[in-house]
Amino acid sequence: MSIFGTILSTIFGHAGATTPTAAPTATPPAGQAPAATATPATPSAPVDVAAILTELAAKAPQPLNWQQSIVDLMKLLGLDSSLAARKQLAGELHYTGDTNDSASMNVWLHKAVMQKLAENGGKVPDDLK
């Protein structure tokens, strides 16, 4: 699984939610109309990302500034936060900057992760996107 996929599943797993997926479609036999009861699946309620992360941070053995730090966010979720892991995450999220400038990459990564969480059904405060 990708690093972002792990971030997503960890946060959404704490909410008891699943990642939004397309509903399977049933194909009726030739010549028959689809059943009237077949409706597209509606996405579940948005997952409150900030609430979940705040709750996890309250239980963490050390203070973690997940609101601003990608390293602390990854630590909070029990993930490898090494430079190599962050470079891999940058690749997954199509970072085009210099991965050797870790400070700039880290700022970009945090915003990109929050934006991607929002795009995948997470409720993320505007100041974190």
Q: How far apart are CA 33 and CA 129, in angstroms?
A: 44
Task: Indicate the SS3 state at residue 123.
Answer: strand
Mean pLDDT of the chain: 84
Would the pLDDT of 39 be above 50? no
Task: Indicate the SS3 state at residue 32.
Answer: coil
43 inside domain: no
pLDDT value, residue 116: 97
pLDDT value, residue 74: 98
110 inside domain: yes
pLDDT value, residue 37: 38
Q: Residues 80, 74: contact at Cβ < 8 Å? A: yes
24 inside domain: no
Least confident of 16-20, 38-42, 113-117: 38-42
36 inside domain: no
- Confidence band (pLDDT; 50, 70, 90) for 18? very low
Which residue spans within the chain are E strands per DSSP?
47-48, 122-123
Q: How far apart are CA 82 and CA 62, in angstroms?
A: 18
Would the pLDDT of 25 be above 70? no
Helix (H) or strand (E) holding 4: helix 3-14
25 inside domain: no
69 inside domain: yes
23 inside domain: no
93 inside domain: yes
The residue range of the domain holding 88 is 3-16+49-128
pLDDT value, residue 12: 94
pLDDT value, residue 26: 45
Domain count, the chain: 1
